[in-house]
Every structure is written in structure tokens, then in C-alpha cells.
Amino acid sequence: MKNNNVNINKENPLISIRGLTKSFGEMDVLKGVDIDVYQGENLVVLGRSGTGKSVLIKIISGLLLPDQGTVMVLGKNVPELKGKDLIDLRLKVGFSFQNSALYDSMTVRENLEFPLVRNFRKLTKAEVNTSVEEVLDAVGLSQTINQMPSELSGGQRKRIGIARTLILKPEIMLYDEPTAGLDPITCLDINGLINEVQEKYRTTSIIITHDLTCAKATGDRIAMLLEGQFQREGTFDEVFETDDIRIKPFYDYNFTDI
């Protein structure tokens, strides 16, 4: 169970979603989602594959448009934003992709420099170097600065992907399946890093996962997405203290010896 001293401001939701729906053709994925995410909080969104978890965070970051509903992020209704206003918001919302999304032709240094130089053209070379070194130190991979992504392990690639997101100092972090494809020991390292990022950078985060070990280790609050809506919310134990046949097998698969 997660145990830290991070301060969560429950008076101040940085993300507030009401009546969110999204369909693809005849497939209804989100069917009236309501959720608040508070300042300083790690919210874990759990659900089976295909339940709309990744669709949700793509809508939050403006990568997808909803069919209906309001998506308030840092006081802005995301679906209404266009042009510079959407770009400005995205600079404050970091998206850590499942596949790390590193450029294979660039070194680690160049991968980290790219978003910084593209968005803050007036930075000096010294300022860029300092930012690169700071985030590499934060993820514990200073020694990889001149390596190519192909030379990194899966866990290292995940860490560098998170570092590239952190370099813009976002207020909100969105993690899409951060432990997918990793061995159990590396998963524990990534879970620890997510908590360290929350504490050091004071981020508000949504963590999309179906890994209950990740959920238990990183989530201040868990929200279970079922049948297009959030059906249960609370601490890890509160969510799974149920005989609901939609939820109990999810827990048993992760934690019960067969």
C-alpha cells in the first residue's frame, strides 16, 4: 500500500470531468464519465483492456475530442481550446506514452533537448544542459546521456521517456501503462519513480494501468472504469472489498495463486 507524506489539496481539482462520452462508430467506449483529480494527487484508473482508459487521457490532453461533456484541465475546457491555447495547455500536461516514444535516431541527450528547444527557443545552451542533467539525475540515469535508445533496456527507456516529459516541468502527468512489458523488479523501480516524481515535482497525476501492484504502490486513490463509467472509487482496499463479479476476478488474477 502506498505510504507517503504528499499533500493533496482536495479543495482544488486540477482536472474536473462531467458527462464525458466517446464512441467509435457503433462502439460506445465512455458513457458518461464523471471524475475529479485533486492537486498533488496520484489517481490510478483501472480497467480491463478496451474499457477506454487510454481514450480518457488522450481526451484530457486534447489528442482526442469527446462526443459530449466538459473536460476542465487547469481551469480550461479542453475540447474548446484551439491553436496557441491548446499548445500552452499541453506544455503543462506531460504525457508518458506506453512505448516511451523516444526518437531512435537521437541520443538520450538529444531526445531530452528536443522538446525543450522546440518550446523554449530563448534558452541558452547552458540552461538546456542544466535541465537535461537535472531530469536525468531525477530518473537515476545520468550515465546514459550519450547513449542511443537501442542501447537501453526497457526499464531505462521508460525512465528516459518520463525524463523527457519532466523536462518541461508539467503540472500534470499522464502515465499510460507505465509498467507494461517490464519484469517485476523493474516494475517496482518505475513505481518508485512515479512516487518520487509526485513528491519532488509536486505533480498531479493520472496513472492508467491494469497492473494492480502498480496501482497499490502509486495510487492515492483508485477509480475502476467499468462499462464506460467509473463504478468504484476509493483506496485500493475500498475498491476491492467487494464480491462484484466484474471486479473480484480482476483482483484474483493479479494476486491469487492458481
Q: Is residue 125 part of a domain?
A: no
Residue type, 51: T
pLDDT at 121 (0 to 100): 84
Q: Is residue 177 part of a domain?
A: yes
When divided into structural domains, the chain yields a total of 1
Q: Is residue 150 part of a domain?
A: no
Q: Is residue 98 part of a domain?
A: no
pLDDT tens for residues 89-145?
999 999 988 777 899 999 999 999 999 999 898 899 999 999 999 999 999 999 999
pLDDT tens for residues 174-207?
999 999 989 999 999 999 999 999 999 999 999 9
Residue type, 58: K
pLDDT tens for residues 87-101?
999 999 999 887 778
Q: Is residue 129 part of a domain?
A: no
Q: Is residue 47 part of a domain?
A: yes
Q: pTM for the whole thing?
A: 0.92
Q: Is residue 3 part of a domain?
A: no
Report the distance separating Cα 74 and Cα 135, nearest Å. Answer: 24
Q: Which residue range is the domain that position 47 belongs to?
A: 9-92+170-255
Report the distance separating Cα 21 and Cα 67, nearest Å. Answer: 6
Q: Is residue 60 part of a domain?
A: yes
Q: What is the mean pLDDT of residues 243-256?
A: 76
Question: For residue 33, what is the domain's CATH number?
Answer: 3.40.50.300
Beta sheet of 76-77, edge-to-edge order: 27-39, 9-24, 68-73, 76-77
